Amino acid sequence: MGDDQIHQAIAILTEAVKAWVSPAVTIVATQGRDPFKVLVSCILSLRTRDLTTAEASARLFALADTPEKMVGLDVPQIEAAIYPVGFYRVKAEQILEISRSLCDLYRGTVPDDLETLLKFKGVGRKTANLVLTLGFGKPGICVDIHVHRICNRWGYVHTRTPEQTEFALREKLPVEYWIIINDLLVTFGQNLCTPLSPHCSTCPLYQFCDRVGVVKSR
């Protein structure tokens, strides 16, 4: 994919994804831009299917939807609410620890800068960027495995890790697409541009895609 083709590709993709369900964290964000809920939902989503994430988030937020309320729970209560998300015991401890830090150090408010968010246990660049973009509407590029895989499959970047992809996109992706690129490519990657045997024959972006690394497609 050439640099000059990205505008048309994003326009086509924006229409195409309307046929599919949005990622769970995005749905949480659209229910009211709440950085804390976005942060917690993103932690829950790691190594977990979207439906499971959505259901676990709803159960947990019914008990506690602010850092102040969350610290009123204990780890077993959080575990019970978020089970069966992946690594639910570890995540329960992380959520409680982060909530305590927010209350003790930030007056119960989620910070809106990347470097501060990265200081919290269990928060990596993907989560921090998602909080900035979906929680605060601030520029950031959230790169998960779908964004990393698809941008390389397109031939738009040539990188080995999601972090490298983030920095490569910061250099070349037009700023107006920074916030939306994650939602678009996660939805696209879950439904059409799958890791194995992607649906190339019905892909609306076929003409733009270099299909790097695609051995077998449908």
Catalytic residues: 126, 144
Q: Label residues 67-90 b or e (16+ Cβ within 10 Å = b).
A: beebbebeeebbbebbeebebbee
| Cβ-based neighbour number of residue 150 at 10 Å | 25
Instruction: State the DSSP string of 173-196.
Output: S-GGGTTTHHHHHHHHHHHTS-SS
For the chain, helix, strand, coil in percent to 5 are 60, 0, 40
Contact 88, 79 (CB under 8 A): yes
> Phi and psi of 64, rounded to 5°?
-155, 120
Gap between the Cα atoms of 16 and 8, Å rounded: 12
Residue with tokens 């678009």: 184
**Which residues make Cβ contacts (< 8 Å) with residue 198, sequence separation at least 6?**
153, 192, 214, 217, 218
Contact 37, 61 (CB under 8 A): yes
